[in-house]
Amino acid sequence: MDTIRIGYAPTRRSIFSAPDARRYRTIIADRLTELNVEFVDIDDINDEGLLFDEDDRIRVLEKFRAAGVDGLFLPHCNFGTEFICARLAKDLGRPVLLWGPLDERPEPNGVRLRDTQCGLFATGKVLRRFQVPFTYLTNCRVDDPVFERGLRDFMAVCNVVRAFRAARILQMGPRPYEFYSTMCNEGELLERFNIECVPVPLGELARGVRQATGEVTGDGSSDVEAQLAWMEEHFDRDCSSEQAQTVAGMAVAIRRLLRSYHCTAGCIQCWNELQHELGVMPCAANSILNEEGTPITCETDVHGAITSLMVEAADMGRKRSFFADWTIRHPDEPNGELLQHCGPWPCSVAKERPKITVPLAFDHNGALTAEARHGNLTLARFDGDNGAYSLLLGPAEGIDGPKGMGTYLWVRVDDIKRLEAKIVEGPYIHHCVGIHDDVVPVLYEACKYLGITPDLYDPIEEDVKAYLRGE
């Protein structure tokens, strides 16, 4: 599971109870510790461990930058100092969680000790003035389940933002000539999002495969032999020993390229040059890397690799995602659709033991066949054209359907015609990424920090917003 570090900057305002604010600073910190949240506090910045002073703000900023925090938590322990909070958030440039504990009953004489909700209203307005996007968690008690849920969702949002901003995509070969749909604007991705594409010719990959397979010693000590042992444990195979060795060598070579070029994900020109060069499909090798948590997408789909990083980050790295084509309608289910690809899906998503074999529409071995597990899913696609970028996303359910080839799953959505129109009208293509979890709200919320538009293919936006508010 991925780890997120939060900058914990509780705030107060002078005209309300400082002792009560200090008390809540400790109560909240204790709750974070209880929830195993990794956080950096400001207890060493001043005697109170609270944010309300400009000079302290500068020291807090330096501390959080040095600690490499992934997000900023601004709990209002009383009204709070809204302009100090906004300046800190602006300069830090990380996702912001705005929240405050519910006030107790006023004193018998009518005095209010904290006035937290009023302060949250003020800070929200000032953050907007500073053009700082933020996540708001409803005013509730620290032991309310809504608090824990909202905090964990925010940490997942931070993880998506971190993965997206750090994305560096290994592009193994150009896109296949026929695939105009997978073209991307490399310069724009770098200029707008700081996402780097690292192009590597297929010849370099092929040399890496030959080098890796040439290291086989026969005593089980080489990387390829270790990979073959792993494949024996996780795959059946309907291929020769030589083909299996080439698959293992390709997995080793891709892993080395990822490490050498410091990439977080990859995409590959999976047909047809590699088949001519090495005699196998790369699908099973891609599956191995995908199972390790390093997404590799087909047909040189850079945007697909970025989507995979986002989806797995939204799930905090707990489950593996799968990269698929939208292919054909279900023959019996009116809102059913077949998700399929030649065989790159990680084995942990399969409901049966995958087999290395020949895929649909190709003659070379090295793909996988297995049906994926059913259950609730999130489907997503980051894409763009003409300078606009958005994230298509929504829920789906894995269902029964006819036997398929490759790695596949029949799914049901609420309205396939509505989804179909979304994909055809764009800016999306026939590729998507799925995961066996509901990460729609997290991905939706992350979009506000990334400068992309969330595009829900079902009319559930108000439900998503209500969930994020804590309803």
Tens digit of each residue's pLDDT (9 = 90 or more) over 392-405:
999 999 999 999 99
Position 361 scores a pLDDT of 82
CB 374 within 8 A of CB 333: no
Position 369 scores a pLDDT of 96
* E-strand stretches of 15-56: 38-40
State the Cα–Cα distance between residues 410 and 400, nearest whole angstrom.
Answer: 6
Position 108 scores a pLDDT of 80
CB 9 within 8 A of CB 73: yes
* Domains, in order of start, for the chain: 5-165 (3.40.50.10940), 174-469 (3.20.14)
Percent with pLDDT over 70 in the chain = 99
User: Binning pLDDT at 50, 70 and 90, where does residue 37 land?
Assistant: very high
User: Binning pLDDT at 50, 70 and 90, where does residue 342 land?
Assistant: very high
Mean pLDDT of 212-239: 95
Position 226 scores a pLDDT of 97
Please write down the long-range contacts of 197-201, taking CB distance under 8 Å and 24 or more positions apart: 197/169, 197/171, 197/302, 198/168, 198/169, 198/170, 198/171, 198/261, 198/263, 199/171, 199/174, 200/170, 200/171, 200/172, 200/173, 200/257, 200/261, 201/173
Mean pLDDT of 338-348: 96
CB 3 within 8 A of CB 70: no
Tokens of 363: 């003659």
Position 16 scores a pLDDT of 83
- Match 């070579």 to its residue by tokens: 253
Nearest residue to 380 (alpha-carbon basis) of 292, 313, 440, 462 = 440
Tens digit of each residue's pLDDT (9 = 90 or more) over 279-307:
999 999 999 999 999 999 999 999 999 99
Q: Where are the alpha helices (DSSP H) in 35-144?
A: 54-67, 82-92, 116-129
Tokens of 445: 């919320």
CB 249 within 8 A of CB 210: yes
Percent with pLDDT over 90 in the chain = 90
Angle at 265 between CA 426 and CA 337, to 5 degrees: 40
State the Cα–Cα distance between residues 228 and 246, nearest whole angstrom.
Answer: 10
User: Binning pLDDT at 50, 70 and 90, where does residue 320 land?
Assistant: very high
Residue 109 has pLDDT above 90, yes or no: no
Position 192 scores a pLDDT of 96
Tens digit of each residue's pLDDT (9 = 90 or more) over 117-127:
999 999 999 99
How does the average pLDDT of the chain come out, rounded?
A: 96
Residue 43 has pLDDT above 90, yes or no: yes
Number of residues in the chain: 471
**Contacts of 268 by beta carbon, 8 Å cutoff, 6+ apart:** 172, 173, 205, 254, 274, 282, 286, 296, 297, 298, 300
Position 1 scores a pLDDT of 87
Q: What is residue 358's DSSP assignment?
A: -
Tens digit of each residue's pLDDT (9 = 90 or more) over 165-206:
999 999 999 998 888 999 999 999 999 999 999 999 999 999
